[in-house]
Structure 1
Amino acid sequence: MKREVINTKNAPGAIGPYSQGIIVGDFVYTSGQLPINPVTGVLETDIKVATKQSMENVKAILEEAGTSLENVVKTSIFLKDLNDFAAVNEVYGTYFTENPPARSCVQVAKLPKDAVIEIEVIATK
């Protein structure tokens, strides 16, 4: 199957040898999105603001791929501190108000740039 690389200036550029997203067939796979504002380069550290920024970055990649959050089938959330779970859910829930996708949410030892959250998704076209 053909792979198509997704690249948008509306989400932070890759900080390593990877693409923001890849389209394969009818699926879009995003790389994990740190809460970096693509305009200012600021890494958000407040968990609610950070969750919103990571979701906005994911949304921008999906839109560049010709799809949207409505077509997300699986989300993975990586947290620096699982005690932030309720705050993340509060913000995350505003993006998926009906028929939310399947999801994993785990605490990890460390994230790039010492971020508080990273979010990746799989969506259909």
Structure 2
Amino acid sequence: MQLLHTSDAPAPGGHYSQAVRTGDYIHTAGQVGLNAATGVTPSDFREQTRQALANLRAVLAEGGAEITDVVRTMCLLTDIDNFAIFNEEYAAFFGDHRPARSTFGIALAGGFTVEVEAIAYVGDR
């Protein structure tokens, strides 16, 4: 097992790793819309979503994975009424790649409105 960490995504706010590589898979922790470089979380839901996905890309890259390696995501929204906006940004981010996905409406700590975690398969490399 290899613990992954990049300064290009927010540092964990608790007792966990940004991601863990086990064998052929990378499992990420949930990535939120906090900009690691500025420490700012956008107030706009769309911008928070874009930042969360950018953070996800950075964490995956640290483990040698690309977005097209993602096989599953779990997406958490504090307001399920934002699903259409989230889905637009998610579709733009993944393009033609369509990993399996679950999306839930829940409460998130820290004032965040969106969180995305992923599992990526890197065994073909």
Show CA shifts across 1:56-86 (max 9, x none). Answer: 0000000010011110000110000000000
- Deviation (angstroms), 1:91: 0.6
> 5+ unaligned residues in a row in structure 2: which ranges?
none
The match for 1:116 among 110, 113, 116 is 113
- Deviation (angstroms), 1:97: 1.4
Confirm whether residue 62 of structure 1 aligns to residue 60 of structure 2.
Answer: yes
Q: Which runs of 4+ in 1 moved over 4 A?
A: none
Confirm whether residue 81 of structure 1 aligns to residue 82 of structure 2.
Answer: no
Moved more, 40-49 or 8-17: 40-49
- Deviation (angstroms), 1:98: 1.2
Letter of the structure 1 residue corresponding to residue 56 of structure 2: V
TM normalised by structure 1 equals 0.95
TM normalised by structure 2 equals 0.95
Letter of the structure 2 residue corresponding to residue 113 of structure 1: G
> 5+ unaligned residues in a row in structure 1: which ranges?
none
Q: Aligned residues: percent identity?
A: 36
Tell me how large the CA RMSD over aligned residues is. 0.7
Report the secondary structure of 1:76's partner residue: strand
